Amino acid sequence: MRKLVFGVFVLSFAISILTACGTKEADSGSGTGKTQETQGTENVKAESKKKQVTIGIGQFAEHGSLDNCREGFLAGLAEEGYVEGENLTVYEENALADGSNANQIANNFIA
C-alpha cells in the first residue's frame, strides 16, 4: 500500500512539473537569423514578464539531496525570468516521510 501511495505521489509531482513547464508558443519564423533555441528562450523570458505562474512542489521528506534539487529547480526558473513574488507563486509541501501525508498533498495539488 505504501508503494502505491508513494507511486501516486511521485506521478502527480512529475505531472505537475511537466504541466507547469511544458507550454510553448509556435515559432513565427520572422527570419531574423536567430536560432530556434535563442528565440524560444527570448519568448519564455518575454512571457515570464507578462504571465503569473503558480507551481506546487511536493517533497516526500527532508533530505539534503532533495532540498538541493528543489533549490536548483527554483534557481533554474529564476534564470529564465520566473522570480518568486514577482511572476511566480510556489506552494511547497513536505510529507515528512509519511505516505498518507504525501497522498493528501498530491490530492490537494490536484484539487
Q: Has residue 11 got a pLDDT over 80?
A: no
Q: Is the pTM of this model over 0.75?
A: no
**Spatial separation of the C-alpha atoms in residues 11 and 13, rounded to whole Å:** 5
Torsion, Cα of 43, 50, 90, 56 (10° steps): -60
Percent of the chain with pLDDT over 70: 67
Query: Which helix (H) or strand (E) element contains residue 36?
Result: helix 36-50
**pLDDT tens track for 52-84:** 999 999 999 999 999 999 999 999 999 999 999
pLDDT of residue 51: 87
> For residue 52, what is its C-alpha cell?
503569473
